[in-house]
Amino acid sequence: MPSTAPLPPDATRARYETLLEVAESIAVHRQLSTLFADLSRLLKRLVPFDFISLTLIDAKERVVRLHILETEQPVHGKPPKSTPFEQTPTIAALQSRRPYYIPDTAAEERFPIVLDLLRANGVQSACILPLFTAQRELGGLHFGSLTKNAYSEEDIEFMGQVARQVAVAVDNALHSEAAVAYEEQLAHERDRLRTLLEVNNAVAGCLETRELFQAISASLRRCFGLDYASLLIHDPDIRALRLHMLDFPDGTGAIREDAIVPLDDSLAGFVFRTRQGRVFSLEEARAVSATTGELFEREGIQSLCCVPLISRGTALGTLNVGSRRPDRFLGDDLGFFNQVAGQVAIALDNALSYKRIEELNVRLEEEKVYLEDEIRTDNRFEEIVGQSRALKATLKQLETVAPTDSTVLIYGETGTGKELLARAIHDLSARKQATFVKLNCAAIPTGLLESELFGHEKGAFTGAIAQRIGRFELAHRGTIFLDEVGEIPIELQSKLLRVLQEREFERLGSSRTIRTDARLVAATNRDLAQLVEQRQFRADLYYRLNVFPMTAPPLRERRDDIPLLVRYFVQQYARRMNRRITSIPTESMNALARYHWPGNIRELQNFIERAVILSTGSALQVPVRELKRGPVGASVVTLEAAEREAIQRALHDAGGKVGGDTGAAAKLGMKRTTLQNKMRKLGIDSNRSEPRPG
């Protein structure tokens, strides 16, 4: 069998260039003998042959005559002046209108007269191309090679294109057709070849689909005088075609880019599904799709041609052209547009692959930055610590809901470990191999929250200097945790509701719909039902979030867990600060267990960190005086004073620098943004931080 491997763009371009030279040679040579001498020279650059000949039929005598033979080899035996129809492969090729290929003359049993002559001259493979026009059958163009299996499918297709041009020349030479008609037909062939060459050059030089389409549509417009051209690409997410590019300068605007074209009620959808190109009159278009037919009728388009874009066996979309002239596209035009579509499909496949790689690189870079940020975060819990009844009840709920994909809403006071519960839900779910993405909705300025959630395109707003992927896109097939969900502005809540219901959204500055498969776990320390009554929170969003509510119990309801948590935090901070603390005084532990901890686990953690800092020996030195059971405010103020002192000391040691590896945030083991929030709350200005006595 001939080889089916596709030709690279450079080889295809070379063949189109040769075809163009063939067309120009035909225009120059009026004599078939001189034409064939030139053809032999041109074609040998691309097609392996040792003999090329022209045979013509004599319908009256019912014979085939050898008219011209070009070869550099010595000819053995005298070719017969004529051969009966039934004994020549020329007639077989004419009857089928297809090339007659003999890969091995030794194995061929038909046409013994011709085969004996070929074998006598060492010809081991041959290809006979039929020569015919719309008016009559002319004969055959023969290629012979001294090697077996000399011709691939691409070679035969190329020789067929040469044969179509030779047929025009032979027909004109034999019948002396009018010179004007001959020139027009030849010019038409040259224009097509020039257009194919331009398309091939565009394919070889363009990775960006818009630039490619503009170059191709300009070439087709020059060659065919088109009024309409479009490129539709299949979108598997919506199972439809999307109008990716449009060249319709005189359109009314009813057809626009990015329009969704269904597969089951459109001309392009019909061609895409059948994978067969087709020419449509307006009446035929209405018969296939009344909607599409009416649309083109309003735009004045009378003739249409749609061809599928197929690369590596996969249908990518369709190339569509149209004209306001009836019957503009003839039968052979479809073959030409199929050739164009083949080149466009290769380029489109490359462009889509390049775009996917670019988007993947951007996504990976975003995930890398995000995960690096997570690594730098002071992850306060490596595991859930505690054995209290309240905590066990919460964990029981967690184990129940985690394997499902249901939305979870975690209620709880500040500092109760809501994020830890959300991480546990993710780790116990089928999504644990994907990304866990978190966002504190209260920590992001209102104007930037939408961009954080859904991303934005370059130039979407002032300062948007590059494309940014949002948290929902990062969390695709994973889990997204929205803390302080009650702080989301009312005007943004409808977009969040759409993501939960439809699982789709658009980046800021883009009309392209992106689908996401992210599980949502939300958390709040506010009463959302009360916010709904106060019209500060959408009722429909509340019901969508409140599918599975659960509560993170406050530390005052988990007093049995306080000793476990204290020992855990002591070990954690002692190891981090390279301290050796082996004991905790009983009176100190009792004081810690009695305290009401209004700031919950976060307050306990910060307090233990301060205690470890203050400890100089192997016993934990707990500043018990700060835990007096007086007014809550007094205790908090004392703790805030301790935090202020620790932050100011770190700022002094870091020379006033907040971020970076040597900044105060790194020294305190917390995120830069977290430290900045604490500094704002405590009224600390890094530029005015005074040195503290050490």
CATH number of the domain residue 679 falls in: 1.10.8.60
Q: Are strands 436-440 and 303-311 parallel, antiparallel or unpaired?
A: unpaired
d(CA 577, CA 668): 10
**pLDDT confidence of 546, banded at 50, 70, 90?**
very high
Helix, strand, coil proportions of the chain in percent (round to 5)?
50, 15, 35
**pLDDT confidence of 356, banded at 50, 70, 90?**
low
Q: What local confidence, expressed as pLDDT, does residue 404 receive? A: 93
Q: What local confidence, expressed as pLDDT, does residue 532 receive? A: 93
When pLDDT is averaged across residues 379-398 and rounded to a whole number, the result is 78
When pLDDT is averaged across residues 165-177 and rounded to a whole number, the result is 74
Contact (CB, 8 A) for 33 and 1: no
**pLDDT confidence of 486, banded at 50, 70, 90?**
very high
**pLDDT confidence of 485, banded at 50, 70, 90?**
very high
**pLDDT confidence of 618, banded at 50, 70, 90?**
confident
d(CA 653, CA 673): 19
Which of 31-35, 111-115, 326-330 shows the highest mean pLDDT? 111-115
My answer on whether 611 and 622 are in the same domain is: yes
d(CA 419, CA 481): 8
Query: 577-590 b/e with 16+ CB inside 10 Å = b?
Result: eebebeebeeebbe
Question: For a pLDDT cut of 90, what percent of the chain falls above it?
Answer: 25
My answer on whether 121 and 260 are in the same domain is: no
Lowest mean pLDDT of 373-377, 588-592, 611-615, name the range: 373-377
My answer on whether 591 and 628 are in the same domain is: yes
Query: 46-77 b/e with 16+ CB inside 10 Å = b?
Result: bbebbbbbbbbbeeeeebbbbbbebeeeeeee
- For the cut 80, the answer to whether the pLDDT of residue 477 exceeds it is yes
Residue type, 189: E
Residue 372 domain-assigned?
Answer: no
Q: Which residue segment(s) compose the domain that 546 sits in?
A: 384-553
**Higher pLDDT, residue 57 or 40:** 57
d(CA 196, CA 167): 20
When pLDDT is averaged across residues 26-41 and rounded to a whole number, the result is 77
pLDDT digits (tens, 9 = 90+) for 332-341: 788 888 888 8
**pLDDT confidence of 691, banded at 50, 70, 90?**
very low
Q: Alpha helices, DSSP H only, in 225-308?
A: 267-274, 282-288, 290-299
Question: For a pLDDT cut of 70, what percent of the chain falls above it?
Answer: 85
pLDDT digits (tens, 9 = 90+) for 576-606: 888 888 888 888 888 898 888 988 988 899 9
- Chain length of the chain: 694
CATH number of the domain residue 115 falls in: 3.30.450.40
**pLDDT confidence of 373, banded at 50, 70, 90?**
very low
Domain edge (last residue) among 296, 331, 353: 353
**Higher pLDDT, residue 205 or 319:** 319
**pLDDT confidence of 457, banded at 50, 70, 90?**
confident
Residue type, 634: A
* Mean pLDDT for the chain overall: 82
My answer on whether 628 and 645 are in the same domain is: yes
Q: What local confidence, expressed as pLDDT, does residue 155 receive? A: 86
When pLDDT is averaged across residues 282-292 and rounded to a whole number, the result is 89
The dihedrals phi and psi of 46, each to the nearest 5 degrees, come to -125, -25
Residue 94 domain-assigned?
Answer: yes
Q: Which two tokens stand for residue 285?
A: 């278009």
- For the cut 90, the answer to whether the pLDDT of residue 446 exceeds it is no
My answer on whether 31 and 163 are in the same domain is: yes
- For the cut 90, the answer to whether the pLDDT of residue 669 exceeds it is no
My answer on whether 133 and 175 are in the same domain is: yes
Question: What's the angle, vertex CA 682, arms to CA 589 and CA 381, rounded to 5?
Answer: 45
Contact (CB, 8 A) for 480 and 505: no
- Residues ≥6 apart with Cβ < 8 Å to 501: 544
My answer on whether 219 and 330 are in the same domain is: yes
Q: What local confidence, expressed as pLDDT, does residue 206 receive? A: 57
Lowest mean pLDDT of 63-72, 106-115, 383-392, 685-694, name the range: 685-694
pLDDT digits (tens, 9 = 90+) for 499-542: 999 999 998 888 888 889 999 999 999 999 999 999 999 999 99
My answer on whether 169 and 214 are in the same domain is: no
Residue 92 domain-assigned?
Answer: yes
- For the cut 70, the answer to whether the pLDDT of residue 331 exceeds it is no
- Residues ≥6 apart with Cβ < 8 Å to 573: 579, 608, 609, 612
Provide the phi-psi class of 176: left if phi over 0, else alpha when psi is between -120 and 50, else beta: left
Residue 366 domain-assigned?
Answer: no
**pLDDT confidence of 41, banded at 50, 70, 90?**
confident
Q: What local confidence, expressed as pLDDT, does residue 181 receive? A: 43
- For the cut 70, the answer to whether the pLDDT of residue 365 exceeds it is no
Name 281's bridge partners.
303
When pLDDT is averaged across residues 172-181 and rounded to a whole number, the result is 56
Q: What local confidence, expressed as pLDDT, does residue 632 receive? A: 38
Q: What local confidence, expressed as pLDDT, does residue 326 receive? A: 87
Q: What local confidence, expressed as pLDDT, does residue 250 receive? A: 84
My answer on whether 523 and 437 are in the same domain is: yes
Q: Which two tokens stand for residue 193?
A: 């070849």
My answer on whether 45 and 22 are in the same domain is: yes
Residue 319 domain-assigned?
Answer: yes
**pLDDT confidence of 628, banded at 50, 70, 90?**
low
Residue 373 domain-assigned?
Answer: no
pLDDT digits (tens, 9 = 90+) for 201-243: 666 555 566 777 777 777 777 777 788 988 888 888 888 998 8
Residue 119 domain-assigned?
Answer: yes
Domain edge (last residue) among 527, 553, 579: 553
- For the cut 80, the answer to whether the pLDDT of residue 10 exceeds it is no
Residue keyed to tokens 């001309």:
267
My answer on whether 46 and 127 are in the same domain is: yes
Residue 358 domain-assigned?
Answer: no
Domain edge (last residue) among 131, 163, 179: 179
- For the cut 50, the answer to whether the pLDDT of residue 431 exceeds it is yes
- Residues ≥6 apart with Cβ < 8 Å to 235: 241, 242
Q: What local confidence, expressed as pLDDT, does residue 637 receive? A: 42
Q: What local confidence, expressed as pLDDT, does residue 366 receive? A: 57
d(CA 68, CA 167): 14
Domain count of the fold of the chain: 4
- Among residues 144, 85, 140, the alpha carbon closest in space to that of 115 is found at 144
Please tell me the pTM assigned to this model: 0.47
d(CA 108, CA 121): 16
My answer on whether 594 and 544 are in the same domain is: no
**Higher pLDDT, residue 296 or 41:** 296
Contact (CB, 8 A) for 565 and 599: no
- For the cut 90, the answer to whether the pLDDT of residue 549 exceeds it is yes
Q: What local confidence, expressed as pLDDT, does residue 6 receive? A: 57
